[in-house]
Amino acid sequence: MFGYTFGELGSILAMQTFAGLILFSIFLLMALGLAIIFGQMGVINMAHGEFMILGAYMTYLTSHVFQNYAPGLFGGYFFVAMAVAFVVSGALGLLVEWALIRHLYARPLDTLLATWGLSLILQQAYRSIFGPREVGVTLPDWMMGSLPVTETIEVQINGLFVMGLTLIITGIVALLLFKSKWGLQVRAVTANRTMSGAVGIDTRRVDRLTFGLGCGIAGIAGSAFTMIGSTGPTAGQLYIVDTFLVVVFGGAQSLLGTIFSALTISQSQSTLEFFLTGSMAKVITLLIVIGLLMLRPQGLFVLKVRK
Amino acid sequence: MSATRMDLRKLELIGIAIIAVLILVVLPLALDAFRLNLVGKYLTLAFVAVGLVLCWGHTGILSLGQGVFFGLGGYCMAAFLKLEASSPANTKIQSTPGIPDFMDWNQITEIPWFWVPFKSLPATLILVLLVPAALAFILSAPMFKRRVGGVYFAIITQAMAAVMTILIVGRQGYTGGINGITDLRTLLGWDIRPDFSKYVLYFVCCFLLIGCIFLARYVVGSKLGRILVAVRDKEDRVRFSGYDVSSFKVFVFCLAASISAIGGAMFTLQVGFMSPSFVGIVPSIEMVIFAAVGGRHSLVGAVAGTLLVMWGKTLFSESFPELWLFAMGGLFIAVVLLFPRGLAGLFTDQLLPRLFNMRFFGRSGERVSPAPAE
């Protein structure tokens, strides 16, 4: 088959699945923040990619601080960087919600235009501050290299790390949404905003925290990206379509749907990439998603909400 | 209400007259050939903005993929011009004479089947209008039948724009790839490159644009136009009244696609090339902002918005390239937050009442809200 032996084919399949799993982790990390914002609040945040890039730049800065002032602790800088990325992106998210988004809750399509404007401003700000070229971070030694599983199969440690990170963050978000008081309030506001307000939930505050948290998670996602690729001022725009499709395909209000659609899209893309060129794999994946959305417009998993 | 409605229609006619005088008389007299060609390029984008006023402002369908239709129109025209420029005599140094140069570079020895219709001008002109409308129909009919709208439709059209760009860039042998289709020379033997031809094409473009504005104005003013506005404001009620809402929406979306495609075809003729940089997500959203700045309900506003934004872009990026994105981003936010009805709204709501003590919309007027909540 295709000129490979069965053993080789098995290894290729395993490696391809692993690559697909890394892609899945990235998609899921990107989509989580957006799923919270779009799914729960109905706000289209086109600047989501720029919030991720902010997290990536924060990681870049943190790595420099550690390199110059605390080289002995360099191995652990990544954990500090993620915290910084979360706090800075989340804080910017809160600010943006206060200055921009809260005026537009009744007009979801207008949030799209306004946040697109925001994304242009952020892109130019990154270009002015960090320069137009792509920047990469130095990984600590323990994250480099790969683990051999069998003679022909090996997995990258940074890939494994991203996967673990995704697992943990998804778990935290699920706990927050389904076990905390705040999560209960978010779900109540999603189901019926007026009624939630009537029973004493401060819907304004819930919205602001939700938006801030979504942006903070985007920051962590961006931080995780730096382990895999480099970061430039316009990198955020590349991901925005994929991310939105993952969220919409899964069913905007369902966390499980987001996870499942990220898995479907990433696996189909990495499998197709083996047979076709990268760009054609992408085209076919996007077309399949568009086609399925036409058949099932609410996405894979529908949450029953009374409107 | 009916009296003010009539007044607004009259006012719009005056607006169209002012725009017509500006682009047909003032600009050609005031600008040199290079600058006028630039304005002609802006005007081709105004076709897209006019289409967006129809489908977004009047029907509430926001499409983030209008660049696809602009591009398809442009590529259809470019295919015709390219085949004409690649006659066996012009391309005799190639390994396969008689086919476009980029196909030759990609080891293609025969003109692919979907290029064949573009050998004839009448077929090309029909396809310029039909291909985008057909794609718009395929995309929108299943979605509107299933009552997918608003945000979801916007995201899917955006994905379509992404697919189109990847396809054009990836299939270099059939589309010219990232460089696009370049080196276009003649239209039925008439050289389109000298200044005189550019002047002629500029005026053709102006007349077509004014024609499209009148067509759109006719649609808006007809009974169909009233139904479209009703669909935008309360879709369910229109459906309950017995109208087949989805057919109206599909029709207006296809019409907007065809109007955008005329712009694309004129772009190719005036600028002399077509490339994927006018098809993707970024240009498509920029086209939405043209309509938003001008006023998403106003046909004249759409043209004015396009001219202003593009002129600002050229001016800023010539002298302060780093400021341009800040200005553009600020414009997006300002339009949405401060004047959602755009320039046309500022004009009818603020300027005219102060000048002439006229009021077109009540203080709490029902049309002041720019777009209905989904």
The CA distance from A296 to the nearest CA of chain B, in Å, is: 9
Kindly report the backbone phi and psi dihedral angles of residue B328, in degrees, each rounded to the nearest multiple of 5, phi listed first: -65, -45
Searching chain A, which residue's CA lies closest to the CA of residue B144? Answer: A294
pLDDT at B303: 92
Of B151, B289, B326, the CB nearest to A44: B151
* Any domain includes B125: yes
* Any domain includes A230: yes
* Any domain includes B90: yes
Nearest-10 crossing angle of helices A203-225, A6-34: 150
- CA distances (Å), A276 to each of B171, B325, B374, in order? 13, 37, 40
Q: What's the Rg (C-alpha) of chain B?
A: 21
Measured distance CA(B226)–CA(B219) in Å, rounded: 9
Measured distance CA(B155)–CA(A111) in Å, rounded: 13
Which residues of chain B register pLDDT less than 50? 1-2, 362-374
Which B residues 340-369 touch A at CB under 8 Å? 340
Tokens of residue A232, six digits = 């430039």
Model pLDDT for residues B204-220, shown as the tens digit of each residue? 999 999 999 999 999 98
With CB atoms and an 8 Å threshold, state whether A248 touches B288. no
Overall size of chain A counted in residues: 307
Model pLDDT for residues A232-247, shown as the tens digit of each residue? 888 888 778 888 888 8
The CA distance from A34 to the nearest CA of chain B, in Å, is: 13
Mean pLDDT confidence for A77-88: 90
- pTM of the predicted structure, to 2 decimals: 0.87
Measured distance CA(A203)–CA(A210) in Å, rounded: 10
* Any domain includes B152: yes
Task: Name residue B94's amino acid.
Answer: Q
Q: Is B320 on the interface with A (CB under 8 A)?
A: no
- Our count of domains for chain A comes to 1
Measured distance CA(A197)–CA(A133) in Å, rounded: 47
pLDDT at A248: 84
pLDDT at B369: 42
pLDDT at B359: 58
* Any domain includes B372: no
Q: Annotate chain A with three-state secondary structure.
A: CCCCCHHHHHHHHHHHHHHHHHHHHHHHHHHHHHHHHHHHHCCCCCCHHHHHHHHHHHHHHHHHHHHHHCHHHHHHHHHHHHHHHHHHHHHHHHHHHHHCHHHHCCCHHHHHHHHHHHHHHHHHHHHHHHCCCCECCCCCHHHCCEEECCCCCEEEHHHHHHHHHHHHHHHHHHHHHHHCHHHHHHHHHHHCHHHHHHCCCCHHHHHHHHHHHHHHHHHHHHHHHCCCCCECCCHHHHHHHHHHHHHHHHCCCCHHHHHHHHHHHHHHHHHHHHHCCHHHHHHHHHHHHHHHHHHCCCCCCCCCCCC
Tokens of residue A110, six digits = 């207008």
More confident residue, A277 or A149: A277
Searching chain B, which residue's CA lies closest to the CA of residue A129? Answer: B322
Mean pLDDT confidence for A76-95: 91
With CB atoms and an 8 Å threshold, state whether A237 touches B281. yes
Contacts of A288 in chain B (CB under 8 A): none
* Any domain includes B308: yes
Rounded to the nearest integer, the mean pLDDT of chain A is: 83
Of B288, B328, B333, the CB nearest to A114: B333
Q: What is the DSSP string of B209-270?
A: HHHHHHHHHHHHHSHHHHHHHHHHH-HHHHHHTT--HHHHHHHHHHHHHHHHHHHHHHHHHH
In terms of residue numbers, what domain contains A73? Answer: 15-240
* Any domain includes A145: yes
Contacts of B62 in chain A (CB under 8 A): 109, 112
Contacts of B64 in chain A (CB under 8 A): 112
Contacts of B169 in chain A (CB under 8 A): 279
Task: Name residue A294's amino acid.
Answer: M
Other Cβ atoms within 10 Å of B321 Cβ, number = 10
- Given a cut of 90, whether residue A36 has pLDDT beyond it is no
* Any domain includes A89: yes
pLDDT at B255: 95
* Any domain includes A276: no
With CB atoms and an 8 Å threshold, state whether A294 touches B163. no
* Any domain includes A221: yes
* Any domain includes B81: yes
Please name the helix (run of DSSP H) or strand (run of DSSP E) that holds residue B276, with its range, or none: none
pLDDT at B358: 60
* Any domain includes A294: no
* Any domain includes B364: no
Which of these, B224, B217, B301, B229, lies nearest to B60 by C-alpha position? Answer: B229
Tokens of residue A163, six digits = 């996967």
In terms of residue numbers, what domain contains B117? Answer: 3-356
- CA distances (Å), B342 to each of B57, B141, B334, B347, in order? 11, 30, 10, 9
With CB atoms and an 8 Å threshold, state whether A294 touches B169. no
* Any domain includes A261: no
* Any domain includes A266: no
* Any domain includes B342: yes
